């Protein structure tokens, strides 16, 4: 068997080459501005030489040819036979991309014709052509893709292999050993407990015999004393067994985390090539754009990251093509000639938030409305900007009337939304005229473990994945109306369609819904009525298997603590299956949902009670704070992050804001600064409640304008209420 036919060897080769290619890209992108370019070129030459040598061992002739030509051109630069020129840097970047896409199992394989063009351009550069024409790489033709099928099968998909540091493997093995030791202790303790139970049964049997035959007081007393002593020993053994069980569960949780970590990869796995992509798109569109990447070390499940790779690539391309202006236009309006696109990743609980933003001109709402009308999308005059921006995610939508290499083909943001929501995540867009546009992707850290709300509908319990859930509201304390036969619940003065989750899933038993779970799917907010919310839980997701197949409205299952199966609800599928119009066909009985509360009633004391805005992305914490403050006599409204909180402040005045710090979209510090800078809001008291307790964080919160800084780790209900009363004055 040839070396190239060994899948493990090919996977190792790919991992090494991808590291070398990332080094090549980084070095080339900084080469023109580097004060000592020759030092950089020497390192780049070594990278190209390593790629060539490894490819030659595996018999990958196409990769060898490209790497050899790149090595020769870098040698000319190293020896000073030619100077560093923009066209040569662009050509070497294209060569690097072609090398990556020529590897076995590449996601976007390059066609042989495209490789030949790159080789020809390299030969021209080596012959002294100045300037050299830099080719653009096209996708592989179908025939070429079929020809490479064997290579793909050998190497596997990109998500099939990950590089894992040995420290992670050794750490996991250590924890496995500790868990195994704890299980052995449990086995020993279980034997001792069994022996204690057997002894108790023997003593009980002896006591009964003694009582039946009329034994004297001393004999009966001896049996009773022995039983008490045996019970004490059994209680100690049971307590020890429970302690060992808790330790074992803790260590097994660490094993699970370690196993999950083996499949985690940093964001840089996908974004390493984005600087070259931005340079290429900017050059093609006559723009000067810099890409700033923050949080490239944030880790995600390799399946999640690979699934959104194309979506991120599309957003970055859009930011350059649609977002940033040309240098002359930017200079004319007082901006730096060079535009900036920022890709930022950060972890937020069980999710990772990825933001792609530009400092361009923002979304032109008038142009977007006209483009929507050209496509026959009916928009009311009073449609909000956020609702208008959702049109961007419609299938095939484009604001361009002509086709270019990067735009106008109808392959638009619907692809981004489909990829993100297919993972159980969400995507949002915000834009400031003249300042730029930001897309925010909220993704699950892993597909194997999901944090969810456990809800009850009739006799069944379900898990509702938290990504996409905005908040839960009590139906007894909410305004519920019928609008054209469709039940709606009012949230922040906006009507949200209300559906019965138990009815949608066919739950048996009597249902008496008291809570609505508000969730955002496909850009629309829907409310799902449930009997009760039992709390949040992190669960391991399992497929239902071939026997059951796909159960409509569900995305998998998990085993509950009592051994029962807990189905995970797919709200996206339910929303798509029914739709808002279909909800009217089987409306929720509002009287049933609202209990004894009259339909559409408004609280009589709304105007008298101080109003507090709670801004918190954790559903559990948000509900706890809402309950405490409502019990203390406050009217409480909630928001899921800083952007949502700022939007609420625009149309509903409040007496105080209680905010977390780490949230997707806009964090608590930014929200506080926004409040202090906005006329009409500047005197609203702000209380920060966070888990970030460092002195630097406290100073940052107070410098932002917070009136109080409370720690979740030191949470005290009385302290929170006292702080609110002191600042509100009642």
User: How much is the pLDDT for 335?
Assistant: 92
- State both tokens at 503: 């009815």
- Residue 451 near residue 468 (C-beta atoms within 8 A): no
For 570-578, what is the mean pLDDT?
74
Least-confidence region, from 225-229, 405-409, 544-548: 405-409
Which tens digit of pLDDT belongs to each residue from 498-516? 888 888 888 888 888 788 8
pLDDT tops 70 at residue 604:
no
What percent of the chain lies above the pLDDT cut of 90?
10
CATH 3.30.565.10 correct for 266-444 = yes
Torsion angles phi and psi, residue 92, rounded to 5 = -70, -35
User: How much is the pLDDT for 667?
Assistant: 83
- State both tokens at 444: 């699950």
- Residue 705 near residue 673 (C-beta atoms within 8 A): yes
CATH number for 450-593: choose from 2.40.50.180, 3.30.200.20, 3.30.365.10, 2.40.50.140: 2.40.50.180
> What is the spatial distance between Cα 39 and Cα 58, in angstroms, rounded to a whole number?
30
For 692-720, what is the mean pLDDT?
84
User: How much is the pLDDT for 409?
Assistant: 33
pLDDT tops 80 at residue 592:
no
User: How much is the pLDDT for 156?
Assistant: 36
User: What residue ranges do the domains of the chain occupy?
Assistant: 3-160, 166-262, 266-444, 450-593, 611-728
pLDDT tops 80 at residue 251:
no
Q: How confident is the model at residue 53 (pLDDT cuts 50, 70, 90)?
A: confident
pLDDT tops 80 at residue 523:
no
User: Which residue carries 């830099």 as its tokens?
Assistant: 134
pLDDT tops 70 at residue 412:
no
Which tens digit of pLDDT belongs to each residue from 185-219? 888 888 888 888 888 888 888 888 888 888 888 88
Q: How confident is the model at residue 483 (pLDDT cuts 50, 70, 90)?
A: low
For 313-327, what is the mean pLDDT?
90
How, if at all, do strands 524-530 and 515-521 pair?
Answer: antiparallel
Q: How many CA atoms lie within 13 A of 726 on its CB side?
A: 10
Class at the top of the CATH hierarchy for domain 3-160: mainly alpha
User: How much is the pLDDT for 197?
Assistant: 86
For 691-704, what is the mean pLDDT?
84
| Residue 528 or 588, more confident | 528
Size of the chain, expressed as the number of residues it contains: 730
User: How much is the pLDDT for 147?
Assistant: 38
pLDDT tops 50 at residue 95:
yes
| Residue 261 or 198, more confident | 198
- Residue 505 near residue 553 (C-beta atoms within 8 A): yes
Q: How confident is the model at residue 614 (pLDDT cuts 50, 70, 90)?
A: very high
User: How much is the pLDDT for 395?
Assistant: 65
User: How much is the pLDDT for 681?
Assistant: 85
Give bridge partners of residue 474 from the DSSP assignment: 515
Q: What is the pTM of this model?
A: 0.55
| Residue 586 or 682, more confident | 682
pLDDT tops 60 at residue 245:
yes
- State both tokens at 488: 């709606």
Q: Topology of domain 611-728, per CATH?
A: Rossmann fold (3.40.50)
- Residue 687 near residue 727 (C-beta atoms within 8 A): yes
Least-confidence region, from 96-100, 481-485, 629-633, 655-659: 481-485
User: How much is the pLDDT for 322?
Assistant: 87
pLDDT tops 50 at residue 312:
yes
* 721-727 contacts at long range (C-beta below 8 A, 24 or more positions apart): 721/628, 721/629, 721/632, 723/687, 724/612, 724/629, 724/632, 724/634, 724/656, 724/658, 724/687, 725/632, 727/656, 727/685, 727/687
Which tens digit of pLDDT belongs to each residue from 661-674? 887 767 889 899 88
| Residue 177 or 602, more confident | 177
Give bridge partners of residue 444 from the DSSP assignment: 351
Torsion angles phi and psi, residue 362, rounded to 5 = 80, 180
For 547-562, what is the mean pLDDT?
72
Least-confidence region, from 113-122, 247-256, 434-443: 247-256
- Residue 342 near residue 320 (C-beta atoms within 8 A): no
| Residue 462 or 714, more confident | 462
Which tens digit of pLDDT belongs to each residue from 109-123? 888 888 889 999 999
pLDDT tops 90 at residue 461:
no
User: Which residue carries 């730029």 as its tokens?
Assistant: 436
How does the average pLDDT of the chain come out, rounded? 78
Least-confidence region, from 94-108, 459-473, 475-489: 475-489
| Residue 384 or 69, more confident | 69
pLDDT tops 90 at residue 358:
yes
User: How much is the pLDDT for 9?
Assistant: 56
- Residue 349 near residue 300 (C-beta atoms within 8 A): no
User: How much is the pLDDT for 166?
Assistant: 66
User: How much is the pLDDT for 596?
Assistant: 36
């Amino acid at each position: 068997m040839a070396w190239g036919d060994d899948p493990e060897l090919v996977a190792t080769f790919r991992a090494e080459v991808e590291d070398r290619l990332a080094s090549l890209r980084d070095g080339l992108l900084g080469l023109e501005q580097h004060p000592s370019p020759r030092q950089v070129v020497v390192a780049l030459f070594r990278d190209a030489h390593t790629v060539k040598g490894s490819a030659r061992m595996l018999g990958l002739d196409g990769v060898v040819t490209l790497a050899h030509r790149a090595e020769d051109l870098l040698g000319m630069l190293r020896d000073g036979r030619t100077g560093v020129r923009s066209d040569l840097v662009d050509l070497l970047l294209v060569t690097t991309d072609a090398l990556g896409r020529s590897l076995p199992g590449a996601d976007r394989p390059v066609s042989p014709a495209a490789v030949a063009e790159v080789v020809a351009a390299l030969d021209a550069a080596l012959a002294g052509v100045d300037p050299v024409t830099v080719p653009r790489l096209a996708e592989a033709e179908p025939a070429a893709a079929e020809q490479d099928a064997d290579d793909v099968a050998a190497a596997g998909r990109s998500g099939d292999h990950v590089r894992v540091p040995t420290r992670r493997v050794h750490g996991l093995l250590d924890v496995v050993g500790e868990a195994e030791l704890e299980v052995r202790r449990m086995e020993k303790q279980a034997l001792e407990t069994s022996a204690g139970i057997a002894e108790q049964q023997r003593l009980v049997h002896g006591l009964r015999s003694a009582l039946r035959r009329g034994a004297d007081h001393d004999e009966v007393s001896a049996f009773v004393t022995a039983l008490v002593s045996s019970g004490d020993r059994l209680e100690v053994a049971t307590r020890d067994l429970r302690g060992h069980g808790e330790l074992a569960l803790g260590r097994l949780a660490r094993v699970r985390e370690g196993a999950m970590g083996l499949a985690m990869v940093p964001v840089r796995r996908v974004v390493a090539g984005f600087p070259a992509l931005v340079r290429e798109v900017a050059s093609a569109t006559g723009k000067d754009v810099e890409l700033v990447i923050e949080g490239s070390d944030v880790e995600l499940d390799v399946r999640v990251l690979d699934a959104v790779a194309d979506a991120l690539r599309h957003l970055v391309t859009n930011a350059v093509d649609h977002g940033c202006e040309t240098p002359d236009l930017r200079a004319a309006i007082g901006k730096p000639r060079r535009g900036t696109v920022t890709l930022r990743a950060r972890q937020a609980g069980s999710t990772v938030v990825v933001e792609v933003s530009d400092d361009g001109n923002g979304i032109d709402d008038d142009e977007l409305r006209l483009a929507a009308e050209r496509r026959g999308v009916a928009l009311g005059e009073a449609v909000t900007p956020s609702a208008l921006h959702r049109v961007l995610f419609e299938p095939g939508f484009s604001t361009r009337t002509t086709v270019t290499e990067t735009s106008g083909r109808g392959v638009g943001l619907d692809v981004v939304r489909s990829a993100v929501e297919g993972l159980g995540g969400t995507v949002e867009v915000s834009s400031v005229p003249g300042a730029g546009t930001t897309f925010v992707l909220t993704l699950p850290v892993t597909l194997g473990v999901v944090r969810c709300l456990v809800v009850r509908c009739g006799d069944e319990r379900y898990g509702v994945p938290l990504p996409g859930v905005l908040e839960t509201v009590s139906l007894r304390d909410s305004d519920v109306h019928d609008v054209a036969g469709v039940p709606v619940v009012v949230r922040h003065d906006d009507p949200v369609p209300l559906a019965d989750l138990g009815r949608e899933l066919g739950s048996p038993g009597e249902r008496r819904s008291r809570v609505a779970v508000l969730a955002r799917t496909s850009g629309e907010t829907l409310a799902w009525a449930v009997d009760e919310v039992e709390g949040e839980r992190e669960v391991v997701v399992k497929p239902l298997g071939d026997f059951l197949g796909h159960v409509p409205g569900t995305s998998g299952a998990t085993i509950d603590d009592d051994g029962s199966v807990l189905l995970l609800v797919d709200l996206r599928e339910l929303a798509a299956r029914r739709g808002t119009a279909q909800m009217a066909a089987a409306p929720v009985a509002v009287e049933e949902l609202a209990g004894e509360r009259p339909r559409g009633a408004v609280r009589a004391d709304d105007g008298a009670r101080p109003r507090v805005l709670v801004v918190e992305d954790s559903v559990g914490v948000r509900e706890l704070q809402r309950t405490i403050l409502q019990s203390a006599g406050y009217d409480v409204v909630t928001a899921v992050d800083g952007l949502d909180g700022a939007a609420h402040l625009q149309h509903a005045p409040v007496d105080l804001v209680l905010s977390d710090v780490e949230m997707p979209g806009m964090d608590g510090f930014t929200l506080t600064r926004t409040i202090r800078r906005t006329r009409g809001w500047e005197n609203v008291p702000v209380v920060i409640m966070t888990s970030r307790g460092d002195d630097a964080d406290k100073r940052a919160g107070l410098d932002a304008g917070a009136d109080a800084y409370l720690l979740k780790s030191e949470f005290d209900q009385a302290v929170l209420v006292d702080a609110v009363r002191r600042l509100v004055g009642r």
